[in-house]
Chain A
């Protein structure tokens, strides 16, 4: 009996640690995207996490782990389209983000996604991030992307276990604002379709929540030039 309890607590400990790492990556992701995230949220320690989010059994309680964040001014600038004749005062196309951890251990289908969509729509969040433990069904994926006017993304917990952008082989990706983009195109006398491309489904692109038509600047280290910048058009 004693051994059983020990095994249980060991399992709980393992799961808590894994989830803590995912949780931290989520905050790092929000900060990298340009949302307002405080310092203590970014550097939450395992003990604090365990205290805050675990149930009496020692297992993490995912229903408590809901995150909301507002965009910073910098981010708003990046997401404001250039003023045009028909739209002289464009509004920033970004807003409060909502992150939800799905408590169901398996079989995440349309039911859970509908619930999530409902929360996002009801509370008027601009972006929603749905994090599950297992892959979700194909129809659930479709359902997630079908809320008109809102952006819903999906990640698996294991995808966020480590922050991929912190890996030494992943170069730095910087999103360009529409103004910077137009200056770049002018400088090199290009049309945007003449830029090299990158998919929306690219892991880094998913991490940064990029949208079609945006341009990212990729900064790499170079033996000869010190730093080398290249650009990618997200399609």
Chain B
């Protein structure tokens, strides 16, 4: 992946990669985005041409095209992994630049920035998210990607590694006194406020542990990152609905709404359930199926002369043959006795 140094170039790349003009299909399906990136710099990591492959095989007399195929496949896998890691790094750098306006509200981000954030989150693992938080803190920003404020700094608590946090009055055990929490200072200083910490950790638990280069294409597409505010709104709706269903006298209307929401939630590939199924079958190696690394099933090549023949009687089978290479004594004797007899006859 090309490193973007120039500010203007960076803006260009952001505009081309994540601008609103891009259709949403490209943004969600990572493989196509990667193909585009690959095509741009094919000169750098081009797979070997047919000619090169032939030359390689000629130089190694023991190697077959199959060996070369396997080697190439592994090389492709490693290359896709590297590209994915580079892309995640680029995304982290891009996310340092948002939100653009210093007065943006983390609770109600602009749709464009929210879109950028969400699409980046799809390819992240929790570890990458932690890296993003570190980077943002180094830039004196709140760890939550959509918050423009500075992270808080306990200036007067220099040298203290822990911070005592008191709750409101009456929040202690048994409703008396105050609750108290002891929090490591560095954890506290990641965020601008407790709300942002909650928002960010809510995103973090939704991220997939599986690295993006081992996911199926649909698995990446099916990941839905929900912001904390959305989740609250959804719960509110549910509550309101539950309340109305008890009071309203039109139950079929409610059930209709339920059906539509459940239909909306239906996806063709339910990742969670399919993974569950795979676990049940003991088929955990779901990796790179139709994902970024394609699987090529290669049949073993067979020459025309290797057609299986029906078994036929061989001379050694006349006495029952050997048992795993051992010829039983009586059978061994029989032919030799005959031979002896013949020799005697000759002598006579």
Binding site for B on A (CB under 8 A): 107-111, 114, 117-118, 121, 137-140, 142-143, 146-148
Q: How far is the CA of A139 from the CA of B92 in the complex (A)?
A: 8
14 further A-B contacts with Cβ under 8 Å, apart from A107-B138, A139-B93, A146-B3, are A109-B138, A109-B139, A110-B93, A111-B96, A121-B5, A138-B134, A139-B92, A139-B134, A142-B85, A142-B89, A143-B3, A143-B93, A146-B86, A147-B3
User: Which residues of the other chain, B, contact A121 by a CB distance below 8 angstroms?
Assistant: 3, 5
- State the Cβ distance, A108 to closest chain B Cβ, in Å: 7
Q: How far is the CA of A199 from the CA of B62 in the complex (A)?
A: 31
**7 shortest interchain CB distances as A-B pairs:** A109-B138, A107-B138, A118-B5, A139-B131, A109-B135, A137-B134, A138-B131
A interface majority secondary structure: helix
Q: How far is the CA of A211 from the CA of B86 in the complex (A)?
A: 22
User: Which residues of the other chain, B, contact A114 by a CB distance below 8 angstroms?
Assistant: 3, 5, 93
Q: Is residue B44 contacting chain A, with contact meaning CB distance below 8 A? A: yes
User: Which residues of the other chain, A, contact B3 by a CB distance below 8 angstroms?
Assistant: 114, 117, 121, 143, 146-147
Binding site for A on B (CB under 8 A): 1, 3, 5, 44, 85-86, 89, 92-93, 96, 131, 134-135, 137-139
Q: How far is the CA of A67 from the CA of B137 in the complex (A)?
A: 30
User: Which residues of the other chain, B, contact A137 by a CB distance below 8 angstroms?
Assistant: 131, 134-135, 138
B interface majority secondary structure: helix
Q: Are A108 and B138 in contact (CB under 8 A)?
A: yes
Task: Name the one of A118, A139, A147 contacting B135, with C-beta atoms under 8 angstroms.
Answer: A139
- State the Cβ distance, B52 to closest chain A Cβ, in Å: 11
- Pick 23 A–B contacts, CB within 8 A, sort by A: A107-B137, A107-B138, A109-B134, A110-B92, A110-B138, A114-B3, A118-B5, A121-B3, A137-B131, A137-B135, A137-B138, A138-B134, A139-B89, A139-B92, A139-B93, A139-B134, A142-B85, A142-B89, A143-B89, A143-B93, A146-B86, A146-B89, A147-B3
- State the Cβ distance, A154 to closest chain B Cβ, in Å: 15
User: Which residues of the other chain, A, contact B1 by a CB distance below 8 angstroms?
Assistant: 146
User: Which residues of the other chain, A, contact B137 by a CB distance below 8 angstroms?
Assistant: 107
User: Which residues of the other chain, A, contact B134 by a CB distance below 8 angstroms?
Assistant: 109, 137-139
- State the Cβ distance, B84 to closest chain A Cβ, in Å: 12
User: Which residues of the other chain, A, contact B86 by a CB distance below 8 angstroms?
Assistant: 146
- State the Cβ distance, A81 to closest chain B Cβ, in Å: 18
Q: How far is the CA of A121 from the CA of B9 in the complex (A)?
A: 15
Q: How far is the CA of A138 from the CA of B131 in the complex (A)?
A: 7
User: Which residues of the other chain, B, contact A118 by a CB distance below 8 angstroms?
Assistant: 5
- Which of A107, A110, A111, A142 counts the most chain B CB atoms within 10 A? A110
Q: How far is the CA of A114 from the CA of B1 in the complex (A)?
A: 14
